[in-house]
């Protein structure tokens, strides 16, 4: 009987993932000529290292997705750079770079991964699985880039570009300058610093849920006054929402806080 290749052995250990991988191909509308490329793109380093440690007799170790991620990052950047150059708003170079960075940041890529159901297809070690790896934004973002690198190797740039533009169809149809507006924390800090030479402070007031599904509540204060509260899956996200709510409150009731006078409402 023929011996299974290392990648086929890996496939046999993750039968449920193979079903999810098939669904991922359907959503991408791409059938791989070389399915090993997709398996590599979805294999996390934790799973590959576990497999290689327990199969020391194999001639060629199972690869993980970091090399394809490196390639996919460039493919994605080129496809989006081309799309932005053709955009009717004709952005200057400085804005082009910022918009592209916003489109390919971890948060944006993780949202794409969730829309594709990519998390269910990931090949993870048991430890990474228990640690919530299927929901980690960094793991999901890396895997999206790796999958795009795999598509490029399998079908060429034109096919990869077509899929990328489909994945970004909604984002590219929006007013793209909104992506590079200053974040809420920066806007709130600029307001208080310009008027009072002081900055607001942020405090985590509660943390709920298990490690892989934690929710944080953050308060933003200025001179001891609570300006806003926010909830989020990360402290960073909760802080941004708190700052956003603070700015909204100040816009609606600029004189409700003793340290702000009517003439100083400059939001």
202 touches 242 (CB < 8 A): yes
> What is the token pair recorded at 124?
């993870």
Whether 12 contacts 4, CB under 8 Å: yes
CA 196-198-202 angle, to 5 degrees, is 135
| Cα distances (Å, whole numbers) of residue 76 to 41, 72, 140, 176 | 15, 6, 15, 17
Distance (Å, rounded) from C-alpha 139 to C-alpha 119?
Answer: 9
CA distance to 17, 189, 195, 237, per residue, from 219 (Å): 41, 14, 21, 12
Q: Which residues are catalytic?
A: 73, 145
Strand partners, 229: 219
- Bridge partners of residue 216, in order along the sequence: 207, 232
Q: Reduced to 3 states, what is the DSSP secondary structure of residue 149?
A: helix
Which of these, 43, 13, 25, 5, lies nearest to 163 by C-alpha position? 25
- Asked if 253 and 267 count as a contact pair (C-beta separation under 8 A), the reply is no
């Amino acid at each position: 009987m023929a011996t299974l290749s290392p990648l086929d052995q890996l496939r046999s250990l993750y039968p449920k993932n193979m079903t999810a991988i098939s669904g991922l191909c359907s959503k991408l509308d791409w059938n791989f000529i070389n399915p090993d490329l997709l398996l590599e793109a979805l294999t996390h380093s934790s799973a590959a290292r576990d497999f290689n440690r327990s199969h020391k007799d194999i001639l060629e170790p199972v690869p993980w997705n970091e090399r394809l991620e490196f390639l996919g990052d460039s493919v994605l950047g080129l496809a989006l750079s081309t799309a932005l150059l053709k955009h009717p708003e004709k952005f200057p170079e400085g804005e082009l770079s910022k918009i592209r960075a916003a489109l390919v940041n971890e948060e944006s890529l993780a949202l794409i991964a969730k829309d594709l159901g990519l998390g269910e297809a990931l090949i993870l070690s048991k430890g990474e699985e228990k640690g919530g790896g299927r929901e980690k934004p960094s793991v999901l973002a890396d895997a999206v880039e790796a999958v795009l690198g795999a598509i490029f190797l399998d079908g060429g740039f034109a096919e990869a570009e077509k899929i990328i533009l489909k994945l970004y169809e909604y984002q590219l149809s929006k007013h793209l300058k909104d992506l590079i507006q200053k974040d809420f924390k920066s806007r709130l800090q600029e307001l208080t610093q310009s008027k009072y030479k002081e900055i607001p402070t942020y405090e985590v007031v509660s943390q709920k849920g298990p490690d892989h599904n934690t929710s944080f509540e953050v308060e933003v204060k200025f001179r001891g006054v609570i300006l806003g509260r926010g909830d989020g899956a990360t402290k960073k996200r909760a802080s941004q929402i708190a700052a956003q709510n603070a700015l909204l409150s100040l816009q609606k009731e600029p004189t409700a806080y003793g340290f702000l006078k009517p003439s100083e409402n400059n939001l």
